[in-house]
């Protein structure tokens, strides 16, 4: 089967899952007790105003009809009206998506840069004291609550030492938006000051988000490298009299790294998931923080939209990993 057919098949397989997710989240968000409309309009609103707004939102219709309307709207790229900002949820989200992606991707790069070499190093020097130290640090690092790490960094590095900004994404010199990534946009505009400013704001949130993931990546990389060392073909190389260093770098690493790729996919998922904590701590204007505010405000359209988008990103990340896996490892066939 050609790779394009395979991609197409996998994308089609996503449809029932996404539809199921939509039904699940829609039901959760629409059958909540209490009156979100009343909550949104505040205690001053008259009963007539509440009823009018309710009709506008289509909440007076039966649930299955509401769902149908929602799906039809979704097909046209409409996520409904937010009960908190009274704008279209799609418009609200559009700007924040870039902020979250910039944060998550930077954190992913940091996690890979720290985690993978640490895990490799640990595996190559298995059971040495340095391996034990690395493992100890990694297993503790996984236990760090991100919101707490962020607060500690805010206290010590941002407030006490003044090395970094405490919150936010820019100091009022946001570059003109092209990609939604401030760092890249600043470079595209040739605005070095904005670039440095964006990086400076990005540093602590990205590091906070990355730290436990780097630790987890180091652990998993170590485990999968050790698994590779156990394989028969490594034994064969050893029987031929090839030195351990050469085996490690020339023969083990390639297969080990294919496994690491899957782990990077998992890491991406964990980063998307936990971005919300970091965004809230650092007032990062991302989609997850928007989602958290929406949950607190019982803004159901926004909750459904954010959850769907996070689910979609998660599923697509898994798909991309599967595809890359086949590219890197010829033993894997698409089918």
Partner 1 sequence: MASTTATQHRVKPRSKVIRRLFRNRLSIIGILIVTLVIFVAIFAPWVAPYPQDAGPAVHFDRALQSPSWQYLFGTDEVGRDILSRTIFGARLALQYTLVVLGIALVVGIPLGLIAGYWSNSLAATFILRVIDVFLSVPPLALALAVTVAFRPSIMTAMIAISFTWWPWFARLVYGEVLKLKSQPYVEAARSLGQLAWIIQFKHILPNIISPIIVKATLDVSFVILLGASLSFLGVGAQEPIPDWGAMVARGRNYLPEQWWVSTMPGLAIFITVVGFNFLGDGIRDALDVWD
Does residue number 287 form part of the binding site for partner 1 (CB under 8 A)?
Answer: no
CA 182 – CA 195 distance, rounded (Å): 7
Q: Pick between residue 145 and residue 168 the one whose CB is nearest to partner 1.
A: 145
Does residue number 1 form part of the binding site for partner 1 (CB under 8 A)?
Answer: no
* Number of residues assigned to the chain: 335
Q: Which stretch binds partner 1 (CB under 8 A): 10-18, 55-63, 92-100, 183-191?
A: 10-18
Does residue number 145 form part of the binding site for partner 1 (CB under 8 A)?
Answer: yes
Does residue number 161 form part of the binding site for partner 1 (CB under 8 A)?
Answer: no
* 254 touches 331 (CB < 8 A): no
CA 325 – CA 258 distance, rounded (Å): 6
Does residue number 25 form part of the binding site for partner 1 (CB under 8 A)?
Answer: yes
Does residue number 109 form part of the binding site for partner 1 (CB under 8 A)?
Answer: no
- Tokens at 102, concatenated: 């910039």
Q: Which of 129, 143, 240, 335 forms a contact with partner 1 (CB under 8 A)?
A: 143
- Tokens at 65, concatenated: 């009809």
Does residue number 198 form part of the binding site for partner 1 (CB under 8 A)?
Answer: no
Residues in binding contact with partner 1, number by CB under 8 A: 54
What is the torsion angle, in degrees rounded to the nearest 10, for the CA atoms of residue 297, residue 302, residue 308 and residue 311? -50
- Chain-centroid distance of CA 166 in Å reads 22
CA 206 – CA 156 distance, rounded (Å): 16
Closest CA to 248 of 112, 95, 74, 120: 120
The residue ranges that bind partner 1 (CB under 8 A) are 16-18, 20-21, 24-25, 28-29, 31-34, 135-136, 139-140, 142-145, 147-148, 151-152, 154-155, 159-160, 269-270, 272-274, 276-277, 280-281, 288, 291-292, 294-296, 298, 300, 303-304, 306-307, 310-311, 314-315
């Amino acid at each position: 089967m050609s790779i394009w057919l395979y991609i197409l098949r996998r994308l089609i397989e996503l449809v029932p899952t996404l539809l199921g997710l939509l039904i699940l989240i829609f039901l959760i968000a629409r059958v909540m007790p209490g009156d979100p409309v009343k909550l949104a309009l505040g205690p001053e609103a008259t009963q007539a105003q509440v009823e009018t707004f309710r009709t506008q939102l289509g909440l007076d219709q039966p649930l299955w009809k509401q769902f149908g309307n929602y799906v039809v709207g979704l097909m046209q790229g409409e996520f409904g009206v937010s009960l908190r900002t009274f704008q279209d949820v799609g418009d609200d989200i559009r700007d924040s998506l870039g902020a979250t992606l910039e944060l998550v991707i930077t954190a992913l790069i940091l996690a890979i840069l720290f985690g993978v070499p640490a895990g490799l190093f640990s595996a190559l020097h298995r059971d040495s004291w340095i391996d034990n130290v690395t493992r100890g640090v990694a297993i503790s690092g996984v236990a760090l609550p991100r919101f707490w790490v962020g607060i500690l960094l805010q206290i010590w590095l941002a407030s006490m030492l003044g090395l970094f900004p405490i919150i936010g994404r820019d100091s009022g010199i946001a570059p003109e938006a092209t990609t939604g990534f401030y760092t890249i946009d600043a470079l595209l505009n040739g605005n070095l000051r904005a670039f440095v400013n964006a990086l400076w704001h990005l540093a602590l949130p990205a590091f906070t988000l990355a730290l436990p993931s780097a630790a987890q990546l180091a652990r998993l990389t170590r485990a999968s490298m050790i698994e590779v060392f156990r394989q028969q073909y490594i034994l064969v190389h050893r029987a031929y009299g090839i030195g351990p260093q050469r085996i490690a770098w020339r023969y083990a690493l390639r297969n080990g790294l294919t496994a690491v790729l899957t782990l990077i996919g998992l890491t991406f998922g964990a980063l998307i998931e936990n971005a919300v904590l970091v965004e809230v701590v650092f007032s990062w204007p991302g989609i997850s923080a928007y989602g958290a505010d929406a949950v607190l405000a019982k803004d159901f359209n926004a909750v459904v939209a954010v959850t769907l988008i996070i689910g979609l990103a998660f599923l697509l990340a898994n798909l991309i990993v599967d595809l890359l896996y086949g590219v890197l490892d010829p033993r894997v066939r698409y089918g």
